[in-house]
């Protein structure tokens, strides 16, 4: 059995760990984090591979995690007025979605399905709570990014509504 130090050395030399770290470093979500903070934040994610056609979550489910798409493609759909699912987005690597689950435990506003084999990083609300408590600098950086993201999305919807309201 490895000593804790040997385990950490082996873990941090792992090529998948290094490539994931580089992937995260380039995301706006990790903007402003030091190397040490980024390493800790990286350990907070759960890695999951979804197969083509596999459902990540359904509209109406209670959200518990934010998703970061590392590789592959994901489709977001929402039920329209006629009850049929309507595509609202097709997402590729680097996309972040499901962020409202970190802020409130309400039903999901859309469904997500993998369009091809996709690797996703999940940040559960409980992990974010731990980060906010034990590593507030990381938590503030994450919350700042989420606030900007939600603000941009709200602004885009407001602009679309204003344009469609003009006679």
Q: Is 4 among the domain residues? A: no
In a domain, 153, yes or no: yes
Q: Compare 160 and 68 and report the one with higher pLDDT.
A: 68
Distance CA 160, CA 104 (A): 25
Q: Is 5 contained in some domain?
A: no
Per the domain annotation, does 32 fall within a domain? Answer: yes
CA distance 120 to 136: 25
3-state secondary structure of 144: helix
- Decide: 87 and 46 in contact? Cβ < 8 Å: no
Which residue is associated with the tokens 């990381």?
138
CATH for 42: 2.60.120.10
How far apart, in whole angstroms, are the C-alpha atoms of residue 102 and residue 93? 20
Q: What is the spatial distance between Cα 159 and Cα 55, in angstroms, rounded to a whole number? A: 31
Count of domains for the chain = 1
Residues 6+ apart with CB under 8 A from 56: 50, 67, 74, 112, 113, 114, 120
Task: Please write the tens of the pLDDT for every residue from 94-134.
Answer: 999 999 888 888 899 999 999 999 999 999 999 999 999 99
Res. 45: pLDDT tops 80 = yes
- Nearest Cα neighbor of 67 from 37, 85, 36, 91 is 91
Cβ-based burial of 120 (10 A; exposed 0-12, middle 13-18, buried ≥19): buried
Tens-place pLDDT, residues 50-86 = 999 999 999 999 999 999 999 999 999 999 999 999 9
Q: Say if 67 falls within a structural domain.
A: yes
Domain range spanning residue 153?
A: 20-165
């Amino acid at each position: 059995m490895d000593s804790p130090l040997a385990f950490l050395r082996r873990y941090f030399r792992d090529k998948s760990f290094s490539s994931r770290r580089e992937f995260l470093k380039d995301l706006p979500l990790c903007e402003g984090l030091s190397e040490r903070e980024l390493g800790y934040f990286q350990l907070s994610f759960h890695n999951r591979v979804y197969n083509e056609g596999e459902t990540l979550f359904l509209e109406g489910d209670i959200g518990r995690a934010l998703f970061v798409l590392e590789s592959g493609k994901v489709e977001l759909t929402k039920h329209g007025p006629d009850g049929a699912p309507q595509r609202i987005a097709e997402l590729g690597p680097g996309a972040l979605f499901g962020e409202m689950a970190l802020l409130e435990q309400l039903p999901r506003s859309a469904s997500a399905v993998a369009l091809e084999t996709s690797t996703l990083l999940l940040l559960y609300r409980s992990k974010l709570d731990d980060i906010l408590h034990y590593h507030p600098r990381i938590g503030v950086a994450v919350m700042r990014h989420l606030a900007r993201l939600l603000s941009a999305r709200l602004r885009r919807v407001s602009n679309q509504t204003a344009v469609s309201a003009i006679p």
